[in-house]
Chain A
Amino acid sequence: MLGALWLLPVLFAFWSAFHPAEFSTSFELFAPLTLDNFTRAWGYAPFPRYLLNTFFLVTTILIAQFILCTLAAYAFARFDFFGKNVIFALVLLQLMIMPEVLLVENYRTISSMGLLDTIPAIAFPYMASAFGVFLLRQSFKTIPKELVEAAQVEGVSALGVLWKVYVPLAKPTYIAYGLVSVSYHWNNFLWPLVVTSSVNSRPLTVGLAIFGAPESGVDWSIITAATVMTMSPLLLAFILFQRQFVQSFMHSGIK
Chain B
Amino acid sequence: MSAIILRDIYKSWGSFEALSNINLGCEEGKLLVLLGPSGCGKSTTLRLIAGLETPTSGAVEINGKDVSNLPPVKRDISMVFQNYALFPHLTVAENILFGLKARKVSKPERKKRLKNAADILGLEEFLHRKPAQLSGGQRQRVALGRAIVAQVPVCLMDEPLSNLDAKLRQEMRQEIRSLQQRLGMTMVYVTHDQVEAMTIADKIILMNDGGIEQHGTPEDLYNRPATAFTGSFIGNPPMNILKSNPEIVAACGVDMPENFAISDLLIGVRPENIEVSKNSGFEIVVSATEYLGADTLIVGRSNDQSITLTIKGKATIPMGEIIRIGWSSKDTHLFSASTGKRVETTNMGEQS
Contact = CB atoms under 8 A, between A and B. Distances in A.
Interface string A96-108: 0000000000000
A165 B102 CA distance: 12
A144 interface: yes
Contacts of A154: 73, 98-99, 102-103, 146, 150
A171 B89 CA distance: 10
Majority-rule SS of A interface residues? helix
A18 to B, nearest CB: 45
B132 interface: no
Given A155-B102, A155-B103, A156-B102, A149 B88 contact: no
Nearest to A146: B85
B52 A152 contact: yes
A168 B71 CA distance: 25
Interface stretch (B74-82, B240-248, B259-267): B74-82
A171 B87 CA distance: 14
Interface string A135-162: 0000000001011011111111000100
Contacts of A165: 87
B50 interface: yes
Contacts of B82: 146
Contacts of A155: 72-73, 99, 102-103
Instruction: Give the contact-size bracket for chain A.
Output: 10 to 19
A150 B85 contact: yes
Contact of A152 (B72, B83, B103): B72
Contact of A168 (B73, B78, B89, B103): B89
Q: Interface size bucket, B side?
A: 20 to 34
A149 B146 CA distance: 14
Given A147-B85, A169-B88, A153 B77 contact: yes
Interface string B173-204: 00000000000000000000000000000000
A146 B73 contact: no
A146 B81 contact: yes
Given A152-B71, A154-B98, A156-B102, A146 B83 contact: yes
Contact of A149 (B85, B98, B103, B150): B85
Contact of A153 (B73, B83, B87, B88): B73
A169 B81 contact: no
B16 to A, nearest CB: 18
Nearest to A165: B87
Interface in A194-233: none
Contacts of A150: 79, 81, 85, 87, 146
Nearest to B98: A154
Contacts of A164: 98, 102
Contacts of B81: 146, 149-150
A232 B18 CA distance: 63
B102 A160 contact: yes
Contact of B87 (A147, A149, A152, A160): A147
Interface string B134-169: 000000000000100010000000000000000000
Interface in B244-284: none
A107 B46 CA distance: 58
A153 B102 contact: no
A169 B131 CA distance: 14
Contacts of B85: 144, 146-147, 149-150
A151 B72 CA distance: 10
A146 B160 CA distance: 13
Contacts of B87: 147, 150, 165, 168-169
Interface of B: 50, 52, 71-73, 77-79, 81-83, 85, 87-89, 98-99, 102-103, 146, 150
Nearest first, the 9 closest Cβ-Cβ pairs linking A and B are A154-B99, A155-B73, A150-B85, A146-B85, A153-B72, A168-B89, A153-B79, A156-B102, A155-B102
